Amino acid sequence: MTAWYESTFGRDYLSLYPHRNDEEAIQDIAALLRLTDLPRREPLLDLCCGAGRHLAALRREGFTDLTGLDLSSHLLAEARARLDAASMEDVQLLRADMRDIPQRDRFTAIISLFTSFGYFASQQEDERVLVSAYRALTRDGTFVLDTLNREHVLASLTPSEEKELGDMCVRIRRHISRDGLRVEKETRVTQPGSPVTIYRESVRMYAKREIEDMLGRIGFVNTHFFGSLQGDAFTNSSARMVFVTSKVAHAPYH
């Protein structure tokens, strides 16, 4: 059976999230660079880079050694077109599973933005993502993880909505799984002359302490957390959880 994340990030994905655009990416990266001191001339990996909007923003900020990794061949093709059109052919793109980053000890910084964590069926598989990031970082490298805040989702979930995007009629249903651990979403897309297309998403909602514990087990140190990329203090009402942490040598997963 195909996992949801293998089919959702296809031809309709960018049309369904039109607000995830270049302007937002520029604002995200500007905020990130105020929050962290990422070296511009050292290797940086955008983990789950999607269509490359954050990579383009980083390149414009003077980052010279950029790599993007994603599983979606469609989004990688979009990223390649976006970067090449901006004369950013030197940005490298890789198709791979985030649980198995091909390089070891390669990147001074790894960023994972806009909820690319919690996709897998078990906590052990999600933790593999963090292990993979740890192994791909150089000693003293920085890892930035931006994900959803469980408490905010539980308090503010919108069960259903309908909207029109161009010629698409979009019906969205959201619910919390029976065990209370995941937020699940079904998106039905109807277009004239086309059959209904259904996309599903299922994301594990981790508590802050759970992610902190995973990072600590793996060997990350000096972990700081925020309620946004803008550096707001974290509270239960924060929409986001942003972790900024570092790798040290001689840890369990080195």
- Residue 251 within a domain: no
Q: What is the mean pLDDT of each run of 10 residues along the chain (254 residues)?
A: 91 84 94 97 98 98 99 97 98 98 98 97 98 97 98 97 93 98 97 93 97 97 97 97 89 58
Same-domain status, 15 and 94? yes
Task: Provide the pLDDT for residue 248.
Answer: 85
Task: Provide the pLDDT for residue 227.
Answer: 98
Q: Which tokens go with 73?
A: 């061949």
Per the structure, how many domains does the chain have?
2
| CATH number for the domain that contains residue 187 | 2.20.130.10
Task: Provide the pLDDT for residue 209.
Answer: 97
- Residue 253 within a domain: no
* Separation of alpha carbons 219 and 209, rounded Å: 15
What's the predicted TM-score (pTM) here?
0.95
Same-domain status, 82 and 164? no
| Contact present, 45 and 67 (Cβ < 8 Å) | yes
Reduced DSSP (H G I as helix, E B as strand, rest coil) percent helix, strand, coil of the chain, to 5: 30, 30, 40
- Residue 24 within a domain: yes
Q: How many residues does the chain have?
A: 254
* Burial (CB count <10 Å: 0-12, 13-18, 19+), residue 245: buried
Same-domain status, 103 and 228? yes
Same-domain status, 112 and 10? yes
- Residue 179 within a domain: yes
Same-domain status, 175 and 195? yes
Same-domain status, 71 and 112? yes
* Separation of alpha carbons 239 and 146, rounded Å: 10
Domain span at residue 189 reads 154-203
